[in-house]
Amino acid sequence: MCGRYVQVSSPALLAERFDVDEVVTEAHEPDYNVAPRALVYGVVEREAGSRVLESLRWGLVPSWADDLKIGDRMINARAETLAEKPAYKRAFARRRCILPADGFYEWKALPKQGGAKAPKQPMFIHRRDGEPLAFAGLWETWRDPGEHDAPWIVSCVIVTTRANDLLAPIHDRMPVVLPEDAWSTWLDPGQHDFARLDPLLVPAPSEWFEAFPVSTRVNKADNNGPELVARVEPATLFQ
């Protein structure tokens, strides 16, 4: 599961890091609390082979959907069932993307105190080397079938897999984070062989990551700013 993440790197930095040929999006404000429905940067390869950086709406809306709201339930897609689920099968075959992230949040259940419900501690997870994460994603285009001349909406979903050893004590799932040598295969719209794609959908090595507790301010989607990724001490976790 990945319900919130961080995307603060500039389009110029992402274009260089992901070898993008063209940037077709305006710059977004740095977002330390990306929530579903937000516009996010995505790297997509077009049929002609050019790699572009564009904006996508987080929460995949299949082309056959009647309502945009279906995307609220499709922010994550399990790697194990991509080739089977009607909502993802066509996108998995032809419309794959990379969703850059500067880190993500996960919530760790803490021991119960008395009869109270077990509290959850938000944790920030990022690469130790400071490089952007390359989330495996899928994308789709949709427009409202009930509205004449409705605009096209390009939406996306983050692919998840089982957690690695570092993150398993926090949550049993994590985003698929692709290594650089897998980017070309994953992005290639001409690559339809699921047997070549499935091996990419595995947990990234634990040694890539660092995880530490952060303020519960991140629980509220309206809160934003670099203070959300500041490490906190146990005594201040729930202040």
Active-site residues, by number, are 2, 106
Q: Which two tokens stand for residue 43?
A: 């790297």
Name every residue whose Cβ is closer than 8 Å to that of residue 130 and which is 6 or more positions away in sequence. none
Token pair 């279906």: residue: 70
3-state secondary structure 11-80: HHHHHHHCCCCEECCCCCCCEEEECCCCEEEEEEECCCCCEEEEEEEECCCCCCCCCHHHHHHCCEEEHH
Cα–Cα dist 176/160, whole Å = 5
The tally of CA atoms less than 13 A away on the side-chain side of residue 31 is: 21
> What SS3 state is found at 162?
strand
